[in-house]
Structure 1
Amino acid sequence: MSRQHLMTTAEVADYLRIKERKVYDLVASDRIPCTRVTGKLLFPKPLVDLWIASGTSGIDDGRRAVRPMIAAGSHDPLLDWALRRADAGIAMLFDGSLNGLRRFLDGDALFCGLHVPRFGGGDVEGPQESNTHLFSVGGQGGAAASQIVLIEWARRQQGLILPAGNPMQIGSLQDLARKGAVLRARQPEAGSRVLLEGLLAQAGLSVGSLKLDDMVAQSETEAATAVADGEADAAFGIAAAAKRFNLAFVPLAAERYDLAVDRRDYFEPPFQALLAVARGEAFRAQAEKLGGYDVSSCGRVVLNG
């Protein structure tokens, strides 16, 4: 999170139009998202905005922003299918995990789907460490958004999507770089792009080590389509996208894809309709059909702010 998104005590008091003493009271009672950096209180503006929109007590004017019926964030084929099946009037606007999180924190989406790995000591940590770090500053856990519920949707396999038969015999990121294969990349705000850059760093490579084409894929489907149509030699994405187009797939990492939703909206009919679909046999059958999914813990609460 950039420095301009972190407010001081004086700045947040001015932003909320309250006295600094009131800010300290809110911090003491754990009623406002904040973090301590070298002993200094800092307040992440996106989380403060979410706190206001959620009607958190402390500045109680009886108002609560009504979120639009939009599912934002990262594109996931199984979520796409489930939303259509639920028929709850939720529109889809999938343009990457980080863009979706921004929309959600700004109150511009009902929920967002995301898969952003946590990096520690140069390694990508396991799927159990994904996503929760997005709701704290500096990984310290001090800025947890008090009204956010994070729900596990699925575990997925991420890796290289390649032409059927893997004619270039690519089995790793090193092969991808060494053989000069043309890669269709995802947009910088995509969780897949964040993961790819982390895996490249582990391998002693960077995006600059790869031969990228001039286009970026905005979804899993677009990434796989580029390979299927011969526009690129490879793409980085999920196993389900490769299977849909009968393409080769080299798994490189496991990840957890979660849904972030306001606690109050979690209990409302639209989101509950989606979860009802996820509890059904048809959902599990669809996950099996798509391939590369583990939905055994779908619906598990990962974080309850």
Structure 2
Amino acid sequence: MKEHFGGTMTNHNSTSYTTEEIADLLKVSKLTVYDLIKKGQIRAYRVGRQMRVDATDLDTYKESTKSGGVESANVTVSEQTNEPIRNKNDYSPPPIIQPYATRQLIISGQDISLDLLANAIGKKTGGFRPLRSYTGSLNSLMAMYAGEADVVSTHLFDGDTGTYNIPFIKRILVGHSYVVINLLSRTAGMYVQKNNPKNLHTWSDLIKPSITMINRELGSGTRVLLDEKLRLEGISPRKIDGYFTEEMNHIAVASKVASGAADVGVGIEKAAILVGVDFIPLIQERYDLVMFKTDENLHLRESIFSILRSKEFQNEINAMGGYDLSLTGTVVYETE
């Protein structure tokens, strides 16, 4: 069987569609397509960051939603019940639809507290199977906008207002209804070698002669913090040796400093304690969670509120040290 799609003749069995194409074919929104995939009603697979659906799986979904009976040639009648019975040779089982109780939940962000949150959700909600995506704050928000994340963590510093998260969230999630809840606060600053031999204390010290830094990747909250501080100081990133050398998490940055591969890096205090480098505190950052407000995720939102405010969860976080939980579970911003 062949079909025309986009003006090109293709073999139906090898055709696959993006979520945008599926939404166009079914005349529904892209978010509806993601919801069908999460519920297991449409089988999909991931290629890089993109979800794809084979044409045969799309056909299976469409057939499973059609109403109507079977042809009489395939039907016999029970003498006991007078009900139609399909010939056993023609029987094929209905498609397996993933029950609500096993819906996948994508939690995006890198702090270890999110692993504890995912574990608590898996134990207590009963309605979701949490999956972790270790993606930076800015990229996580973009994934949420694209329908590829359900719970997103952010620590994005806005230099113009001197505040965290809300200016970025408003710009990226425009047109959506959402709630922002504080997860925790933590200290960010510079990793330096033991006893701080290069005497580094401020953002402007990064352009000192003979200083080599190690940076975080584009899209991470730490990279945004550094770029905003450099902008406010009037410092060109090109003046900093090592600015374009990147690592993907706080531990990796702190480890580069500990090994002597770099003199300085930017990150959170927790990683400095774990790796064993000195830490210069520079800012207290607010680490928030973002969720869309929909009728479908009302139970999830209520469950997360309950978990964040519970003594059990807060005691787990406190046991790790290095976090401020004074605002944990507080709504810091909400749209109508």
Is 1:71 paired with 2:107? Answer: yes
- Measured in 1, the distance between the counterparts of 2:198 and 2:182 equals 36
Call closer, same or farther: CA 1:152–1:212 in 2, change over 3 Å.
same
Higher RCO structure, 1 or 2 (CA under 8 Å, sep 6+): 1
Distance (whole Å) between structure 2 residues aligned to residue 222 and residue 111 of structure 1: 25
Aligned to 1:81: 116
Give 1:129-148 correspondences, 5 Å limit.
130-137=164-171, 143=174, 145-146=176-177, 148=178
Residue matched to 2:41: none
- Could you tell me the percent identity over the aligned residues? 26
Residue 173 (1) aligns with residue 210 (2): no
1:233 counterpart residue number: 263
Structure label with greater radius of gyration: 2
How many equivalent residue pairs?
239
Query: In structure 2, the residue corresponding to 1:160 is in which secondary structure?
Result: strand
- 3-state DSSP of counterpart to 2:107: strand
Instruction: Look up the SS of the partner of 1:189 in the other structure.
Output: coil
- For structure 1, the 5+ residue unaligned runs are 1-14, 17-47, 55-65
* Root mean square deviation of aligned Cα: 3.3
Distance 1:290 1:144 in 2: 38
Q: 2:236 aligns with which of 206, 211, 214?
A: 206
Kindly indicate whether residue 158 of structure 2 is the aligned counterpart of residue 118 of structure 1: yes
Letter of the 2:176 partner, please give it. A
Tell me if 1:268 matches 2:308.
no
* Cα deviation code 1:12-69 (max 9, x no counterpart): xxx99xxxxxxxxxxxxxxxxxxxxxxxxxxxxxxx9669989xxxxxxxxxxx9842
Q: Aligned partner of 2:334: which letter?
A: N
Secondary structure at the residue paired with 1:211?
coil
TM-superposed deviation, 1:207: 1.6
| Distance in 1, Cα, partners of 2:253 & 2:332 | 29
The one-letter code sitting in structure 1 at the alignment partner of 2:216 is: R
**TM score, norm. by length of structure 2:** 0.61
Query: Residue 260 of structure 2 aligns to a residue in which SS?
Result: coil
Letter in 2 for 1:111: V
**Deviation at 1:112?**
0.8
Q: CA deviation at 1:92?
A: 1.2
Deviation beyond 6 Å, 4+ runs, structure 1: 48-54
Q: Distance in 2 between matches of 1:289 and 1:249?
A: 20
Is the contact between residue 135 and residue 144 of structure 1 (CA under 8 Å) also seen in structure 2?
no
Q: 1:131 to 1:53 in 2, by over 3 A?
A: farther
Instruction: Indicate the SS of the match to 2:157.
Output: coil
TM (normalized to structure 1)?
Answer: 0.67
- 1:84–1:68 CA distance, 2 compared to 1 (3 A): closer
Deviation at 1:113, TM superposition (A): 0.7
Alignment of 1:150 with 2:180, yes or no, is yes
How many angstroms apart in 2 are the aligned matches of 1:169 and 1:286?
36
